[in-house]
Amino acid sequence: MIRMYRAVLSTQWKWARLVIVLGTIAGFAIPLVSIQGAAPPDRGALQAQELLHAVQSWGTLYPLLATALGLLVAIAAWAADHRGRHVHALTLPVPRWQYVLLRFGAGGLLLVAPIAAVLLGTLLATLSATLPPGLQAYPIALTVRFAFALFVAYAVFFAISAGTARTAGIILGTIAALILVQVVGGMAGIDVDLVGTVQTLLLAGPGPLAVFTGRWMLVDV
């Protein structure tokens, strides 16, 4: 089983390495830049208001990076199998659930690199700066949140990518139907807020995608 995992990991590394390398660089750079961006031009002490503003602005990049990485690594995991119409995968002598787990696990391991980069970047950024009184750095909490968001994004896109064109069609069709019902309801003067309800279910806590919302603060009160 370890040999199989290594084989799958090496192919997925080959397909996703550019994304992983760029994501790792970005994950390392964002915390450093967010703190450096708040430094005054005269290199004087950091001001609380400016620092919070800069950290909050740059903080929007963490969920974006997590989503982009999750999406691209998930696509990379299945792209070759889709191109080969899954014939190779389906003729391998392993149960299908096991093959899916091997692919999922290989992608998951690759994502450890950008998470480690975020941890390293946040630690370095907070250790190298003198924070104004009353502010605290949360490098571990931010990294854990990033890791969670990354794995949620990866899991969701992995599940969608693993499906057939029909599955993708069903998902897109459901979204289109929701929007259509919303639009028609609005035109008919019926008070239907399906899109808002779905959004609340998904994004408001404890929704499955709630981790992506809210403020991503490396430094906060």
Q: Which residues bind another protein (CB under 8 A)?
A: 3-4, 6-8, 10-11, 14-15, 80, 83-85, 87-88, 90-95, 98
Q: What whole-number distance in Å separates Cα of residue 218 and Cα of residue 17?
A: 27
Give whichever of 6 and 53 is closer to another protein, judged by the CB atom.
6
Q: How far are the Cα atoms of 136, 170, 219 from residue 166, in angstroms, in the given order?
A: 49, 6, 45
Report the nearest approach of another protein to the CB of residue 93 (Å).
4
CB atoms within 10 A of CB 16: 23
Give whichever of 80 and 194 is closer to another protein, judged by the CB atom.
80
Write the DSSP symbol of residue 191.
-
Report the nearest approach of another protein to the CB of residue 88 (Å).
5
Give whichever of 109 and 204 is closer to another protein, judged by the CB atom.
109
Give whichever of 65 and 106 is closer to another protein, judged by the CB atom.
106
Q: Which residues contact 165 (CB under 8 A, 6 or more apart)?
A: none
Residue with tokens 């993708």: 168
Report the nearest approach of another protein to the CB of residue 95 (Å).
5
Residue with tokens 């990294």: 143
Give whichever of 80 and 120 is closer to another protein, judged by the CB atom.
80
CB 105 within 8 A of CB 113: no
Q: What whole-number distance in Å separates Cα of residue 131 and Cα of residue 156?
A: 37
Report the nearest approach of another protein to the CB of residue 74 (Å).
17
**Phi/psi zone of residue 135: left (φ > 0), alpha (ψ -120 to 50 degrees), beta?**
beta
Report the nearest approach of another protein to the CB of residue 114 (Å).
22
- Angle value at C-alpha 215, between 108 and 57, nearest 5 degrees: 100
DSSP three-state, residue 66: helix
Report the nearest approach of another protein to the CB of residue 32 (Å).
34
Report the nearest approach of another protein to the CB of residue 37 (Å).
38
Give whichever of 103 and 145 is closer to another protein, judged by the CB atom.
103
Give whichever of 25 and 92 is closer to another protein, judged by the CB atom.
92
DSSP three-state, residue 42: coil
